[in-house]
Chains A and B, each alone.
Chain A
Amino acid sequence: QQPVQSPQAVILREGEDAVINCSSSKALYSVHWYRQKHGEAPVFLMILLKGGEQKGHEKISASFNEKKQQSSLYLTASQLSYSGTYFCGTEAMNRDDKIIFGKGTRLHILP
């Protein structure tokens, strides 16, 4: 089942913060986050494997609440280079090694 991402789109000014949410109706083993710029390949940001785990990548961090089957991506002091579409991908607890991607959240950073 496809995870649900919110919001669908965000417009920020450079330096502002953003939160992107990803929720699933299934119990999750892992959550993957990717960023895709227009016309380019998705690029891996991070993977979260444990409930409650948090990880960081530059000024981008994420959390994974296993009980709520939710993950959130936090972008702090956003930079112009953060613009793009962010996808979460979820792997179910049955560890079928299949990642199902959400529809994405479009982030546009204004100078």
Chain B
Amino acid sequence: EAGVVQSPRYKIIEKKQPVAFWCNPISGHNTLYWYRQNLGQGPELLIRYENEEAVDDSQLPKDRFSAERLKGVDSTLKIQPAELGDSAVYLCASSLGTGRGEQFFGPGTRLTVL
């Protein structure tokens, strides 16, 4: 069974440029999460989707971050414009459903903002 797929794996951009990350969850997983992981820290939830509905986006910096999950499958996370402090690994995870336990993480996108 294919795992969570993310692309790109690495991205280097200048500050103030836009950037987008893509995630394809495990087939049949209704819940999708975007996390940000800073160096030496645990993952921090940005947004959680149940199917195509964003049910928790309280930690998403909405002035510059946006996300969508069209048709309840793939998801895209966008930053516009990027700031130096956005450098981090952006992880996507999926699960069968909220409260169903195990989250399966993708390999992440390492973003470097210069």
Chain A 73-111 against B: per-residue CB contact (8 Å), 1 yes, 0 no? Answer: 000000000000001010000011111111110000000
A51 within 8 A of B: no
Contact B56–A87 (Cβ < 8 Å): no
B98 within 8 A of A: yes
Interface centre among A40, A44, A100, A103 (most CB of B within 10 A): A44
Knowing A41-B107, A44-B102, A47-B101, the reply to whether A103 touches B40 (Cβ < 8 A) is: yes
Contact B99–A42 (Cβ < 8 Å): no
Interface centre among B43, B103, B104, B108 (most CB of A within 10 A): B43
Interface size on A, residues (CB 8 A): 20
Contact B41–A103 (Cβ < 8 Å): yes
A11 within 8 A of B: no
B91 within 8 A of A: yes
Q: Which residue of B lies closest to A41 (CB)?
A: B105
Residues of B within 8 A of A42 (CB): 43, 91, 105
Partner pick for B48 among A43, A97, A103, CB 8 A cutoff: A97
B36 CB to nearest chain A CB (Å): 11
B13 within 8 A of A: no
Contact A41–B91 (Cβ < 8 Å): yes
Knowing A41-B105, A41-B107, A41-B108, the reply to whether A97 touches B98 (Cβ < 8 A) is: yes
Q: In whole angstroms, what is the CA distance A18 to B104 when docked?
A: 25
Q: In whole angstroms, what is the CA distance A81 to B40 when docked?
A: 20
B42 within 8 A of A: yes
Task: List residues 90-114 of chain B with CB under 8 A from any CB of chain A.
Answer: 91, 98-99, 101-108
Residues of B within 8 A of A100 (CB): 45
Residues in chain B within 8 A of chain A (CB atoms): 4, 40-45, 48, 56, 91, 98-99, 101-108
Residues in chain A within 8 A of chain B (CB atoms): 2, 32, 40-44, 47, 87, 89, 95-104
6 sample A-B contacts, Cβ–Cβ < 8 Å, listed by A number: A44-B103, A87-B43, A99-B103, A101-B42, A101-B44, A104-B41
A-B interface, 7 closest residue pairs, ranked by CB to CB distance from nearest: A101-B42, A41-B105, A44-B102, A97-B98, A87-B42, A42-B105, A47-B101
